[in-house]
Amino acid sequence: MCSLSITDTEYDVVVIGGGPGGYPAAIKAAQQGLKVACIEKRGTLGGTCLNVGCIPSKAMLNNSHMYHETKHGLKSRGIDVGDVKLNLANMHKARVKAVTGLTRGVEFLFKKYGVDYVKGTGKFRTANEIEVAGLDGSESVVKGKNIIIATGSEATPIPGIPFDEKRIVSSTGALELAEVPKKMVVIGAGVIGLELGSVWSRLGAEVTVVEYLDAIGAGMDPELAKNFHKILSKQGLKFKMGTKVNNAEVVGDKVKVDIEAAKGGNAETIEADVCLVSIGRKPYTEGLGLENVGVELDNRGRVVIDSEFKTNVPNIRCIGDVTFGPMLAHKAEDEGFAVSEMLATGHGHVNYDVIPSVIYTHPEVAWVGKNEKELKDAGIKYRVGTYPFVANSRARTNDDTDGMVKVLVDAETDRMLGVHIIGPNAGEMIAEAGLALEYGASGEDVARTCHAHPTLSEAFKEACMLASSGNAINF
The verdict on whether 453 is a catalytic residue reads yes
Query: How many CA atoms are closer than 13 Å to the CA of 198, on its beta-carbon side?
Result: 30
Rounded distance, CA 13 to CA 115, Å?
10
Residue 400 has φ and ψ, to the nearest 5°, of -145, 75
Could you say which of 72, 349, 362, 453 is catalytic?
Answer: 453
Q: Which residues neighbour 221 within 8 Å (Cβ) at sequence distance 6 or greater?
A: 367, 371, 372, 373, 406, 418, 420
Contact assessment for residue 282 and residue 114, using Cβ atoms and an 8 Å cutoff:
no
What does the DSSP assignment read for 348-394? ----GGG--EEE-SSSEEEEEE--HHHHHHTT--EEEEEEEGGG-HH
End-to-end distance of the chain based on CA atoms, in angstroms? 74
Rounded distance, CA 312 to CA 317, Å?
9
Rounded distance, CA 427 to CA 425, Å?
5
Rounded distance, CA 15 to CA 353, Å?
26
Q: Which amino acid is at 280?
A: G
Residue 130 has φ and ψ, to the nearest 5°, of -115, 120
Rounded distance, CA 20 to CA 329, Å?
6
Rounded distance, CA 274 to CA 426, Å?
30
Contact assessment for residue 155 and residue 281, using Cβ atoms and an 8 Å cutoff:
yes
CA 171 to each of CA 29, 167, 197, 355, 418: distance values in angstroms, whole numbers, following the listed order: 32, 12, 10, 23, 30
CA 469 to each of CA 383, 409, 415, 431, 464: distance values in angstroms, whole numbers, following the listed order: 10, 11, 13, 23, 8
Contact assessment for residue 284 and residue 19, using Cβ atoms and an 8 Å cutoff:
no
Rounded distance, CA 22 to CA 288, Å?
15
Three-state DSSP at 211 gives: coil
Contact assessment for residue 446 and residue 465, using Cβ atoms and an 8 Å cutoff:
no
Rounded distance, CA 172 to CA 175, Å?
5
Residues marked active site are found at: 453
